[in-house]
Amino acid sequence: MPHYALICIDKPDSLALRQSTREAHLAYVAETGVVVQAGPFLDDDEQMIGSLLILDVPDRAAAQDWGANDPYFHAGLFETVQIYRWKKVVG
């Protein structure tokens, strides 16, 4: 299956919202089993300000569906979400 990268940037001043929904988000990641690699973006103070997720899904529609069902999305955490097809070259 192809890989898709979700690049998600949090709304300003939303660290508390991220922290309060993090457990549900991580459970969703584990339950769905399609996340190949993931982690937060950090600001210069090491505070989480977004997410990068690499998904192993059949198409863009599946990536969009996965993102739309993420508890972070339901909580209104993200200011922007971009989805790109991604090709692993190194690592």
Q: What is the pLDDT of residues 15-35, one digit of tens each?
A: 999 999 999 999 999 999 999
pLDDT at position 66, please? 98
pLDDT at position 91, please? 81
End-to-end CA distance of the chain: 18
pLDDT at position 17, please? 98
pLDDT at position 75, please? 98
- Location of structure tokens 């001043």: 13
pLDDT at position 1, please? 76
pLDDT at position 90, please? 87
Q: Which domains does the chain have, with CATH numbers?
A: 3-86 (3.30.70.1060)
* Separation CA 85–CA 43 (nearest Å): 25
DSSP, residue by residue, 32-84: H--EEEEEEEE-TTS-EEEEEEEEE-SSHHHHHHHHHTSHHHHTT-EEEEEEE
Residue ranges for the chain with pLDDT beneath 50: none
